[in-house]
């Protein structure tokens, strides 16, 4: 009986060590926020001019401050009139980077744009004449080992 218990104990320890020794086949990578944009008819050049004049300097400042890793703007061919034709992608180092994001970015926004929070909100509403934000999603890269 003692031999049987000893055998079960050894077998249990072996199985437990194998389970804990298994590693995931990936590691958690950077996090991107993808904003889906539908540019209104005839406003593509105006919206891109805004992005170049205001959005780009702000993203560059965030990058310089280490808040973001990168940003990109993608054009798309929508399958139907309700889909996005542009995507704004901002990549952060990790999920924790999103904690307290407003506190980190608002001073830089005021510095770059010269606008208060209420002025920035008004400007955002004004951009509604050029585009419609369809939504956004947060995605995480899984880096295979």
The answer to whether 78 touches 85, Cβ cutoff 8 Å, is yes
Nearest in space to 71 (alpha carbons), one of 84, 61, 80: 61
Residue 2: pLDDT above 70? no
Is pTM, for the whole model, over 0.85?
no
Assigned token pair, 116: 């208060």
What contacts 75, CB < 8 A, 6 or more positions away? 85, 86
Report the alpha-carbon distance of residue 10 to residue 21 in Å, rounded.
16
Per-residue pLDDT, 89:
98
The answer to whether 130 touches 50, Cβ cutoff 8 Å, is yes
CATH architecture group of domain 26-144: 2-Layer Sandwich (3.30)
What contacts 133, CB < 8 A, 6 or more positions away? 35, 36, 37
CA angle, residues 114, 93, 119, in degrees to nearest 5 = 20
Report pLDDT digits (tens) over 101-144: 999 999 998 888 887 777 877 887 888 899 999 999 999 999 99
Q: What are the structural domain ranges in the chain?
A: 26-144
Report the alpha-carbon distance of residue 76 to residue 134 in Å, rounded.
14
Report the alpha-carbon distance of residue 134 to residue 136 in Å, rounded.
7
Report pLDDT digits (tens) over 24-71: 999 999 999 999 999 999 999 999 999 999 999 999 999 999 999 999
Assigned token pair, 128: 């509604």
Per-residue pLDDT, 117:
78
Residue indicated by tokens 């506190």: 103
Residue 1: pLDDT above 60? no
């Amino acid at each position: 009986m003692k031999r049987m218990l000893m055998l079960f104990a050894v077998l249990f320890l072996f199985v437990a060590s194998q389970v804990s020794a298994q590693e995931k086949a990936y590691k958690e990578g950077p996090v991107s926020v993808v904003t889906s944009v539908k540019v209104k008819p005839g406003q593509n050049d105006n919206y891109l001019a805004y992005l170049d004049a205001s959005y780009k300097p702000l993203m560059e400042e965030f990058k310089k401050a280490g808040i973001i890793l990168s940003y990109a703007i993608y054009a798309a061919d929508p399958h139907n009139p309700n889909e996005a034709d542009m995507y704004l992608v901002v990549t952060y180092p990790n999920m924790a980077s999103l904690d307290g994001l407003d506190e980190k970015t608002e001073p830089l926004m005021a510095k770059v744009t010269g606008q208060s929070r209420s002025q920035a909100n008004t400007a955002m509403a004004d951009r509604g004449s050029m585009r419609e934000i369809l939504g956004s999603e947060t995605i995480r890269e899984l880096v295979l080992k």
